[in-house]
Structure 1
Amino acid sequence: MASTAKRSVGGANRPATIYDVAVAAGVSHQTVSRFLAGYAGIRPATRVRVERALADLDYRPNMSARSLKSGRSHRIGALTHETAQVGPSRIAEGAAAAARDAGYVLDLVSVDLHSPHAIDDALEQLMSQSLAGVIALVSTDEMRDAVAAARFEVPVVIEREEDDDRERSESGMQALVGHLAGLGHRRLMLISGPPNWSSARGRERAFARAVATHGIEAEPTRYGDWSPGSGHRAVRSAPVSSTAVVAANDQMALGAMLALKQQGLAVPGDVSVVGIDDIAEAAYFDPPLTTVRNDFAATARHAVQELIARIEGAAEPPVPERYAELVVRESSAPPPAP
């Protein structure tokens, strides 16, 4: 059995090296190097010992040494924005994890689009790091236009929801509306995200298709900015004539629930409320929120895999199927009896 994850050198801990791995596995350091390089001619029993030692020692490759040896950078830049929002932040986290799993380091730069030179400044900052490629995580029309006008000197992947991309929003909204229809709701109200977000437009179109599929009425859409306050204002702006509110994200659903309660309406006794994203707090709303859990990690992994394929001249990976899981909690119930 290998020793602890970090060896003590002169009383101080340091990350394990290939020499530590070699000692733990009972092999030469050349064998460990060949294993890490993907050499296929290592005996199965030796391979098992090396794999176990790498895991036990929590070995992490030295990216600087690897880049020097190969003559190629293993750093990826990621341009993002609106990181306070759930989707962009989860995709950025997933991209960092996917890059790390593939042996790359991801440098994340958040862009302030209120600055006229934000993209140029961010690119200058990223390109000073000798990047292998760039992922642009695009959420709004403004970011899309800024990225389109930028000049990239390395391979780039632009990750955004296109206006004709039905798959991302369709299954989740169909699941929500189908759930409410199954409970007996016949009139719904949507609180959409801001129109300059492609994901908001996608969810709004998916809602329209879903209510048409189920033969349900919809009152005019109200709009928010993804925040709880905007969901609260959307409900307070006019009386709700529906028996259920569909919020395009969980934070707006939170604000909507408070506004309904302040109007003397019980959730879900008088009006059901559902959201999208399944944020960590959704299970602890009062009442706990029915919502849709999206696979942001799959979106991030595919973007990283696509970029690495372009960097390394390999075949690009197939687009994964995107899932949306309905999570039913206490904020949705049958409508009140007429």
Structure 2
Amino acid sequence: MLKNVKHAVGKCIANAVLPNGLYCFNYHRIGEASLTEYDPNVFSCDEANFSEHMLYLKKNFTVVSIDDLSEILNGKIRDKRYALITFDDGYIDNYSKAFPILLENKIASTFFLATNFMNNAEIPWWDRIAYLVRHAQVDEVKLTNWSESIVLSKDNVSNSIRQVLDLVKVNNGSTIEEILIELEQKLQIPDTKLVDKEPLFMTWDMAREMSDAGMAFGSQTCSHRIMSHLSIEEQDHEAKASKELIEKELNTSIKAFAYPVGGKDSFTADTVKIIKKYYQISFSFISGINTSKNLDEFCIERISVDSNCNATQLSHKLLKLLLRKLHKSVWK
């Protein structure tokens, strides 16, 4: 009872003190994380909590589409508390589970696609790694360029997957392809054929249906490899080719890009120059609330929705982000 009261009070405080600005809520997968053979950490929340989030955002924010951003970023960012809903990667549950809830709530979300995965043509590298870790025949692993080994817990596979992926995302000179090969060897996987019980990613037909219903799309490259790990030529290809394919398949103009992984080390000044050639705006995965009129339109911060949080927990997360922002401004 006391816990419920505490949560309700926290939610009221958050809603009262949150500043005007652009809040970009970022989702990945919708569904039950415990049921996947791949990376459970990619799941944002289940359908019930996602539906609750949409009701909460409609009540406490002005929910906008990506087409509204030009006007908002051009001087109106402090007029209201704006909420933009985005999805990364293009998983099939974005279509089967999130899309109906978005339609029901009349919310136009933006979906960033990694085009190599469309039509389930390719299993992404992070899900391949998660599957390998799940089926490891050893208790710890250390790759050639790692400074330390990782103990693989059978009781907390999700944490083991997260630890391995955190090291993989560090640019240590190895390509994703090289890392996958070495992981298969070091983890002593008896059968490297990945399970394929059902499609992981949406099809172009699904994306077209969503586009026709008012959903927007952007690019997250072709392969979803980390841009800062690639050559200038590779980055340019990833940015240009993915945009061209999405525009061709959906018969629409694409103006937004989301950096794969999206942390501060996942893209460089050279990456931004390339993105500016093909897109009008781009989104990072750096956590924050966008309140400045001098906002960098090619590094828009987003709020990761994860851990199957409910609407109250989501409001608490926003309050923590605000407190962190205030703390930074005080100590500048």
TM-score by length of structure 2 reads 0.28
TM-score by length of 1: 0.28
Which protein, 1 or 2, shows the higher relative CO under an 8 Å CA cutoff with sep ≥ 6? 2
